[in-house]
Structure 1
Amino acid sequence: MKTTMRATAVVDSARRTLGPVGVCLPVSSTATASVGEERAGVRQLEHAGYRAAWTNEVIGKDALTQLSVLLAATEQMAFGTCVATIWARPPQTTHAAAAYLAQAHPHRFTLGLGVGYRQQAESVGRGFGRPLATLRDYVTGMDNHTRPPAPEAAYPRILGANGPKMLQLAAEIADGALPAGQPPEHTARARQLLGPDKLLVVGQLVVVDDDHDRARARARQVVTTWSTSATFRAGLAELGYPAKESIQASDRVVDALVAHGGPDTIAAKVHAHLAAGADHVTLLLPLGTEFTPGIHQLTLVAPALTDLT
C-alpha cells in the first residue's frame, strides 16, 4: 500500500510540475551548444512560459550532468530525459544520480529511460539482448542496495515506449511512459494500456514555419527518416496507416505525425494529444536543428500555448 501511495504521489506531483506542454531542447548534428548557450536558452524558454524542458542522451553525452547545470540555471522549470539510455551507466548509478538531482531540486526532475539501439550497446561492449527483458532487468537493478545508499528522494521513472508490449511493461514497472513520433490515436491507445494512474508524456514532432509549402516539405523529410524503421512502420499500420503510405510519406501520414506550420497549427495538435489522454506533450524539433535557432522557433510557438501552460 505504501509503495502504491508513493507512486501515486510521484505521478500527481509530476503532472502539476510539468504542466500540459513542454519542449525538447534542440539537437544539432554538427556541434554541441556551449554551457552558456544552453543556460541562456532554457532561461528564454522559461521566460516564454514553458514549464518543462527535456533533453536527449546518446553514448558520449551525459544527460544527467547536462540537466544538473540547467536545473541550477532556472528558478522553477522542470526537466526530464527523453530518454536516458540504459547503456550509458550501471542501473544503480542512474538511480543514485537521479535521486541526487531530485534531492537538490525537489519535484523538478523526471527520468525517462530507454533501451536505445543495438549499436549503443555494442559501442560499450554489451550485448543488446531482448529489449523487454533487458529494460526490465535494468529498472529492477536500479533499486539494488549500494553502500553508501542513494539519497532518499522520489522522482518519476518513465519508459520510452511506443509498442504495446513496452507500454505494458511501463505500466507494470514504471511510473509511466514516453512514446514519441506517433499520432493522437496512439496516445489514446497508450492511455488505455497504461491506465489512468500512470504518467503519459508524448513527444510531438514539430516543424515551425509559417510558409505552408516549406513546412510540409520539411515535415515530409522528417517522416521519411522515421519510416526507415520497420518497427515504426508496423506500429503505424496497426493504427490504420499502411506501410506503403509511411514509406511514401503521404500527406495523410505527414499530417498525422508532424505538426507543421504556424503556432496555431502546432497548438491544435498538442490539444489533440491532451484530449486523447496525454498528461504532457513535449515538442520535438527535427534532429539537426541548431540550438539557438531552435530555441527561437520554440519561443515563437509559446504564445499559442499559454492557455495550456
Structure 2
Amino acid sequence: MTTTAVETARQALGAVGVGLPVSFTSLPPYDAQRAAAVRLERAGYRAAWTNEVVGGKDALVQVALLLGATERMVFGTGIANIWAREPQTAHAAAALLAEAHPGRFVLGLGVGYPEQAAATGREFGRPLAMLRDYVGRMDAPTSPPAPDAPYARVLGANGPKMVALAGEIADGALPAMQPPAFTAQARETLGPDRLLLVGQRLEPDQAPDAAAAAIRAHVAAGADHVILMAPINTDFTEGVNQLETLAPALTALT
C-alpha cells in the first residue's frame, strides 16, 4: 500500500471505466478482445476492467495482452480470484505488469465463492480471514524477487466488513451493484486516502442521460471511479457497441 499508487490510480482512471462484457459460457477470441479494447480507447474511455473465474482464462494474462494492444488505457481486474494463483505469484505478475506499463494497471482481488475454492481442492473458509492471509502473503520474500514497481491493490467488497478490511490492508475497495448510499458508507469507512471504485450495472438500451446520472450519483457519494458493467452473458459485440455509443456522453465526465 502506497500513497503514490493511490494518487497515480486516481489520476489515471478518471471518473468512468468500462467492464468488458462477461460470459460464463464462452470467451470471445483474442482478436475480438483486442479490437474491442482499441475501439473503447479511441472512444475516449480511460480504463477497462475484466473479470476472472477459476479456469477458462487467466485475467492477468488477458490484461497483459490488452495492455500491449493499447496505448494509454488503464486495465484492472474486477476481480482477480485468489483461488486462481498463489499470493506471491499474483504480486509478481502484477508488479511485472506495472513495471512494463507504469500507471496503467490496478489489481482487484476477491475471495470468490466456495465452488471456486473447491475447484482448486481447497476449503473456502472464512472470507475475511482468507483474504487477510492472502494479501499478507503477497509480499513475502521470493527468489528471485518480484519487480519493484508500484501498483494499486483493491479488494472486492460488497459488505461493510470487507470494506473495512480493504481500508486496513489494501489501497481501497471495489463494491459492485450497490446503491449510492452504500458508496457513501464505504467512503466514510475508507476515509479520503483510499481508492473507492464502484461497479454500476449498465442496463440494455440505457439512455446516455440515465447512465451519466448513475455515475454522477456515485461520484457525489464519494466514488473515485465508476465502472459500467453490462449484465452477465451480454453478447460481447453488442455490449461493446453499446459502450461505444455511450462514450460521448460519459467520457466528458472524466
SS in 1 for 2:214: helix
Which residue number corresponds to residue 247 of structure 1? none
Which residue number corresponds to residue 212 of structure 2? 267
Q: CA offset at residue 30 of structure 1?
A: 3.6
Q: 2:159 & 2:25 partners in 1: Cα distance?
A: 31
Does 2:227 align with 1:282?
Answer: yes
Q: CA offset at residue 307 of structure 1?
A: 1.9
Q: 1:19 & 1:85 partners in 2: Cα distance?
A: 25
Task: Decide whether the 8 Å contact of 1:208 with 1:262 is kept in 2.
Answer: no
Equivalent residue letter for 2:22: V
Q: 1:99 aligns with which of 95, 103, 124?
A: 95
Task: Decide whether the 8 Å contact of 2:201 with 2:231 is kept in 1.
Answer: yes
**Aligned 1:65-104 pairs, distance under 5 A:** 65-104=61-100
SS in 2 for 1:187: helix
Q: CA offset at residue 29 of structure 1?
A: 3.9
Does 2:253 align with 1:308?
Answer: yes
TM-score (norm 2): 0.98
Which residue number corresponds to residue 145 of structure 2? 149
Which residue number corresponds to residue 229 of structure 1? none
User: Which runs of structure 1 show a deviation greater than 3 angstroms over 4 or more consecutive aligned residues?
Assistant: none
Q: CA offset at residue 57 of structure 1?
A: 0.3
Q: 1:32 aligns with which of 13, 16, 27?
A: 27
**Aligned 1:214-233 pairs, distance under 5 A:** none
Q: 1:305 & 1:122 partners in 2: Cα distance?
A: 40
SS in 2 for 1:23: strand
Does 2:21 align with 1:16?
Answer: no
SS in 2 for 1:177: strand
Q: CA offset at residue 306 of structure 1?
A: 2.7
Which residue number corresponds to residue 251 of structure 1? none
Segments of 5+ residues of structure 2 without an aligned counterpart are none
User: Alpha carbons of 1:129 and 1:278: their partners in 2 closer, same or farther (altered >3 Å)?
Assistant: same
TM-score (norm 1): 0.81
What count of residue pairs does the alignment treat as equivalent?
Answer: 253
Q: CA offset at residue 8 of structure 1?
A: 1.1
RMSD: 0.9
Q: CA offset at residue 294 of structure 1?
A: 0.8
Equivalent residue letter for 1:119: E
SS in 2 for 1:208: coil
Equivalent residue letter for 1:304: A
Q: CA offset at residue 291 of structure 1?
A: 1.1
**Aligned 1:53-68 pairs, distance under 5 A:** 53-60=48-55, 61-68=57-64
Q: 1:158 aligns with which of 148, 154, 159?
A: 154
Segments of 5+ residues of structure 1 without an aligned counterpart are 1-5, 210-260
Q: 2:251 & 2:140 partners in 1: Cα distance?
A: 42
Alpha-carbon displacement from aligned partner over 1:35-82 (angstroms, at most 9, x marks no partner): 110010000000111000000000112000000000000000000000
Which residue number corresponds to residue 256 of structure 1? none
Q: CA offset at residue 32 of structure 1?
A: 0.9
| Identity level (%) | 63
